[in-house]
Amino acid sequence: MLNSIHYFIKIIIIFFVVIVFFVFSTLWYFSIGLPDYKKLSDYQPPISSRVYSEDRKLIAEYALEKRLFIPFESIPDKVVNAFLSAEDKNFFSHPGIDAKGILRAVIKNIKNISQNKRLEGASTITQQVAKNFLLSNEVSMKRKVKEAILAFRIERAYTKERILELYLNQIYLGQGTYGIAAASLEYFDKSIKELNYPEASMLAALPKAPSKYDPYKYPEVAKFRRNLVLQNLEENDFISKKELNIFKDIKLKLKKRKIEILNEANSYTEEIRRTVKDIYGFEKLYSQGLSISTPLNINFQIQALKSLRKGIEDYDRRQGWKGPITNKIKDKNWKQKISNYKLDPTLDWQLAEIISIENNEIQFKTIRKKKNIEGVIKKKNIKWTIPNNKTTKDIHEIGDIFFVKKKSNIWLLKQYPKVNGGIVILDPFTGDVLALVGGFNFKTSEFNRVTQAKRQPGSAFKPIVYAAALEKGFAPNSIILDAPFVESQGVGLKNWKPENYGKKFYGPSTLRKGVEYSRNLMTVRIAKIIGLDEILKLSKKLNIYDEIPELLSVSLGAAETTLINLTSAYAPFVNGGKKIEPKLISRIQDRRGKTIYQEQSRKCLGCDKFINEKIGLPKIENTNERVISRETAYQMTSILQGAVKRGTAKKLRSLKVPLAGKTGTTNDNYDAWFIGFSSNLVIGVYIGYDNPKTLGKFETGSKAALPIFKDFVEKALYKDDFEEFTIPENIYLTSLNYHSGNKSAAGDKNSIIEALKFRDINNINNNNVISSSERDKIIKFRQFY
């Protein structure tokens, strides 16, 4: 009997040793080649980079995975409790593997097998961390063993809080979101600190099957799953029975996160995306959680887009009706043709087909919508499509497909324009780009006509020529000959013979009139007198051109530049002669809030000292390079104000606010420009075809581009936004005859107030404009006349 007991004990010991050996051998076998769990200590999950407007509104986001990292100490208990109840209620007590959970899953899976149901897992949160961070999604016993081994190791190396932090920031929760912070914004437009228990439970319900329980697509199924999580919360004593009954009856209240102007700012944010990607690379932009601050003004951006579109549509209507997109009855491929049109939602256009034409009115119904809408376009709203001596039925047919838009309860007929353009609004002192629209419809064309399109600026370049002349000693009342001009272009080439618009000559005229009326022949003569080198030098300083041909025709804007470069070149006229660099990015911070980029064009004088009565308050100084004198800058401003009062920009007079600007039109009216400014904004507008061709005989900068500037100023700005331009100390104002440039006689109806430099006094005296005593008095007392 005793021998039998000893034998039995030996058998048990051998069996135990074999089991232990088997277990350790298995663990050793599966431990070979396991990923290093220690890298979790340095793990930084991919985070979305975000772009903000000047008032910190989110306007764009760049990410491979939509994620916002949030540390454990910032995660509220409600969220933690919901996820523990849904995924791993014994998380804080088990060593990485939950034995009770495994036993429970085994028993349940025996039933599932007999009923042909899907098998359930018993993975703890730690095991899920091991799988998500270190292993693949392979379904096999081998992976489960590796997962268990790693779970034990992770538990020994990290605190429970760190493991939970990794899990809650890494998990996929549907709708393209990763982590609880991004999901909270996507489903509820709230930070996780604002979530209540039903909302936290909805998030906790998603990891098991994010697509199946998507509350946007399957609200009833999602609510059922949420209520199961709430039931678990009650069973785990996180909420009371009474709270459970209340919470279960609460409907799902979803609210998509709103990006303030996703579509209106597409051109602006795409330019930022390209810039940041070029500087820091794709990975940093899309996964390192950069915070990008911009000077974008949302109101300006929205209105700039509206004004540009209105101007383009107005031009397009002047060119007449080009016909329907297609005809549903005649064209078998009509569906394919309409599918080529991709419109920004901000256009709010709909495709429609004509179903009848009666009494010169069009009855239509919309297409490509869940519910077709019928409407009528009145005769007065289709009149622009009907040439003289034609009727509506002569031009339009039943089955024609075109665009319509409902505005103020009235249906309008729309035509997709082939012409395009851009508008940019700058701060002339800092270079901040406050708004930028690179085209009519970003979804059809991402090409940016503000920053990428290089076109001849035509007469819009002339102020640069005249500024160079003022720097070289010319004055606004200097007399320049407006007469035929001939320039040899070399052996075997025709002589160059520029002409004025209208092909007229005006004889001796003041420099001021040359700008205000955009006289080509006067401009060329000035360029010839001061030397092309002076103009090219100033152009390079202002970054107008990358490469400049040394041809006299450059003075008439024959070289190519971009709208943003030319608009920036006008800023010195406003800011007192300082060059600016257009700036779309104010600051970039990394995921930890450290500033890695900041544009500095100003410096604070006295900020490093205590404020006292002797020193006074600190002062902000613009550190940009001076390219022209303050006096020249103001003289050009005064002359360009004259263009608004009397010249090519006189359509702006009706606004009755201090404005200055210059139109630009290239040969054969290929491109139309207007660059204008107030005392605190510079605005540039360009209109033209992407494949250059004429805009039409009378489509000049004044007709095609200037109205866009005017519309923006009227609708985006208030009277209080305008101030008079600052007059420098060394400028004096005096009355001169507009035509002759000489001192005005009493009662002279052609008298204007001219801005002159003190150095011009001798020239004026020699022309008997003022007496020597008046000159001495001006010099002595620096009076403003």
Catalytic residues: 87, 459
- Residue 391, token pair as written in the block: 């009727």
Structural element, H or E, at residue 619: strand 619-622
Structural element, H or E, at residue 62: strand 58-62
Q: What is the 3 state secondary structure string of 368-416?
A: CCCCCCEEEECHHHCHHHCCCCCCHHHHCCCCEEEEEEEECCEEEEECC
Cα four-point dihedral sign 712, 714, 716, 719: positive
Contact status, residue 661 vs residue 674, Cβ threshold 8 Å: yes
Q: Which residues are CB-neighbours of 245 under 8 A, at least 6 positions away? A: none
In angstroms, the CA 556 to CA 459 distance is 6
| Residue (of 438, 457, 463, 459) closest to 449 by Cα position | 438
Q: What DSSP assignment string belongs to 709-740?
A: HHHHHHHH--GGG--PPPPPTTEEEEEEETTT
| C-alpha 780: how far from chain center | 52
Looking at residue 60, the DSSP 8-state letter turns out to be: E
| C-alpha 354: how far from chain center | 37
In angstroms, the CA 356 to CA 362 distance is 6
Mark residue 492 as left, alpha or beta (left: phi above 0; alpha: psi -120 to 50; beta: remaining).
left
| Residue (of 424, 644, 367) closest to 512 by Cα position | 644
Backbone angles phi, psi at 62, to 5 degrees: -125, 125
Contact status, residue 433 vs residue 293, Cβ threshold 8 Å: no
Q: For residue 206, which amino acid is it?
A: L
Contacts of range 130-138, beta carbons closer than 8 Å, 24 or more positions apart: 130/37, 130/154, 132/167, 132/170, 132/171, 133/40, 133/43, 133/166, 133/170, 134/34, 134/35, 134/37, 134/40, 135/35
